[in-house]
Amino acid sequence: MKLLFLGDVMGRAGRAAVTRRLPGLRSDWGLDFVVVNGENATSGAGLSAAHAKALLEAGADCLTLGDHAFDQKDMMAFIEQEPRIVRPLNYAKGAPGKGARVFTAPGGRKVLVAQALGQVFMKRPFDDPFSALDAVLKAQPLGGAVQAAVVDFHCEATSEKMAAGHWCDGRASLVVGTHTHVPTGDAQILRGGTAYLTDAGMCGDYDSVIGMDKAEPMRRFVTGMPKGRFEPAAGEATLSGVYVETDDRTGLATRVRMIRVGGRLEEATP
């Protein structure tokens, strides 16, 4: 199977890049299944129902969220109606929606998508993501119930993401980090056959501070004084993420490539 995962879509610029480029990438690269992290697609904070629909129409098969899952209040109800959205498994006990879902790809092949939030350096405490992922991966075994499995591990710390990669190694097709909005250069296939990338980066304008217009974050760092609101940067976005080919029999990765298309970053394609 040919899988594409795109990192956090950041504001209008990120949405525009996805809607403009993803349909072409789907056909050019023969993609079977596309996962897009949408947690910052609406003004950099959360994902509205309208913007979720636009990303799905552009060719995402599944949208994942993150710590900003419910910043847009209409997501509370929309996630119960739209089965193609996955929020973190360990967001909160009473959170609406689901943290893992099984999708059907072309040919009837089953794809598990799960998301978990890390615990290190996050603004509020979340439950143990490792036991949450363990239960999901045991319930939907790779090469058994599902032909592919994608785990979006959403957190700040590279160490925690690497540990999550090894924890899921051999049990997922791909473990990819999100949340920092900066792509890392360590795409690899782990020893057990799981494709891994510490962070997918964002689909956003990289002439920014993690996707936000530079002025206000710069002011806060330099002077220590907030003045205005954070606004997403409006320049052309780079689509950033990871491409994986898997063996349908085992579900394990046979090829992994970092992806960067458009905007300011050096291009990288499958």
Active site residues: 68
Residue 210 per-residue DSSP state: T
67, 71, 152, 169: residue in contact with Fe ion (rule CB under 5 A): 67
- Tokens (6 digits) for 213: 């217009």
- CB nearer Fe ion, residue 22 or residue 203: 203
Query: How near is the Cβ of 202 to Fe ion at its closest, in Å?
Result: 7
Q: Which of 66, 88, 129, 241 binds Fe ion (CB under 5 A)?
A: 66
Under the criterion CB under 5 A, does residue 179 sit at the interface with Fe ion?
yes
Helix, strand, coil percent content, the chain, rounded in steps of 5: 25, 25, 45
Total of chain residues touching Fe ion, rule CB under 5 A: 6
Strands (E), the chain: 2-6, 33-37, 62-64, 85-86, 100-104, 110-117, 148-154, 174-178, 188-189, 195-197, 239-246, 253-261
Residue 160 found at the interface with Fe ion (CB under 5 A): no
CA distance 259 to 35: 13
Report how far residue 119's alpha carbon sits from residue 125's, in angstroms, rounded to the nearest whole number: 6
> Closest approach of Cβ 47 to Fe ion, in Å?
11
CB of 86 vs Fe ion, minimal distance in Å: 14
Contact flags string 11-50 toward Fe ion, x per CB under 5 A: ----------------------------xx----------
Asked if 72 interacts with Fe ion (CB under 5 A), we say no
Residue 90 interacting with Fe ion (CB under 5 A): no
User: In 3D, which of 265, 246, 262 has the Cα closest to residue 254?
Assistant: 246
Residues at the contact surface with Fe ion, assessed by CB under 5 A: 8, 39-40, 66-67, 179
